[in-house]
Copies of this chain bind each other. A is one copy, B any other.
Amino acid sequence: MTAVTTQCCAPIARAPLSEDDAADLAVLLKAVADPVRLRLLSMIGSHPGGEACVCDLTGVFDLTAPTISHHLKVLRTAGLIDGERRGTWVYYRIIPETVSRLGALFTPLAAPPAAQSGPVDVELLTV
């Protein structure tokens, strides 16, 4: 266990964020701060096999294919998903490291109403 142990606050509430870190994280958060992209991310992540074809995604929304393509590109540019063409179709899958980076920002606030049974060990990411 190489992590720093804490039982208090989320990283975001433990020390002031630097200007650079805040700018970095804002880019990442902006990528997921959209209903369509949030649903795309969850559809890709929960798809059997861990990956989803674009053709599985376009039909679900009331949007044109280029719009879906645009949103996938935003997620991809942010490093949240990765895509690969195999033959005719393109498959996307989640990049867990980036997703967990978001979670680590807000999570270790522990349980606010009823505290967890024991102290929670938290990786202190360098963002």
Contacts and interface: CB of A to CB of B under 8 A. Distances in A.
Interface of A: 1, 9-10, 12-17, 19, 22-23, 25-26, 29-30, 32-36, 38-39, 41-46, 94, 96-97, 99-100, 102-113, 117, 123
Given A14-B45, A26-B35, 14 more contacts: A10-B100, A12-B41, A12-B99, A16-B42, A17-B42, A19-B35, A25-B35, A26-B38, A30-B33, A30-B34, A33-B33, A97-B112, A100-B107, A103-B105
A111 B99 CA distance: 11
What is the interface of chain A mostly: helix, strand, loop, or mixed?
Answer: helix
Q: Could you say how many copies of this chain the assembly holds?
A: 2
A10 B99 contact: yes
